[in-house]
């Protein structure tokens, strides 16, 4: 699957093998968003969190199973998530990390 979201490309690819007792799946997902603030406003219009900058995300995933519990138990993710020339504000996780590292939020 390929497309554009708020001016940036999004690509997803997955393979599901149904030949065993449980299906195996693997795939890749990537998104490049030139304006992450615009994307957040579209996806989370009521959120107090804000972000600016350019988002670049590339991930691979794999796992197996039919039901949600089994799929989550076997899910494996790896990849890269970057925010270039930007900031994130109003996120409890980011605020806690900044405090831990001695930075101002």
> What pLDDT sits at residue 83?
87
Which residues 6+ apart lie within 8 Å of 90 measured at CB? 47, 48, 49, 50
Q: Can you give the residue ranges of every domain in the chain? A: 2-100
Q: What is the rounded CA–CA span in Å between residue 71 and residue 35?
A: 33
Q: Which residues of the chain register pLDDT less than 50?
A: none
> What pLDDT sits at residue 29?
93
Which residues 6+ apart lie within 8 Å of 14 measured at CB? 25, 26, 27, 28
pTM here is 0.64
> What pLDDT sits at residue 24?
95
Question: How long a stretch of residues is the chain?
Answer: 105
Condensed to tens digits (0 to 9), the pLDDT of residues 13-41 reads 999 999 988 999 999 999 888 888 887 88
Q: 57, 81, 66, 61: which is closest to 22 by C-alpha?
A: 66
Cα Dmax for the chain: 53
> What pLDDT sits at residue 104?
61
């Amino acid at each position: 699957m390929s497309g554009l979201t708020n001016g940036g490309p999004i690509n997803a690819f997955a393979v599901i093998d149904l030949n065993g007792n449980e299906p195996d799946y693997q795939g890749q997902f990537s998104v490049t968003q030139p304006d992450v603030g615009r994307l957040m406003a579209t996806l989370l219009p009521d959120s107090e969190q804000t972000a600016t900058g350019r988002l670049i995300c590339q991930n691979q995933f794999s796992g197996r199973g039919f039901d949600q519990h089994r799929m989550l138990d076997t899910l494996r993710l790896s990849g890269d998530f970057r925010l270039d020339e930007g900031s994130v504000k109003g996120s409890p996780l980011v605020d806690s990390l900044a405090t831990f590292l001695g930075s101002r939020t």
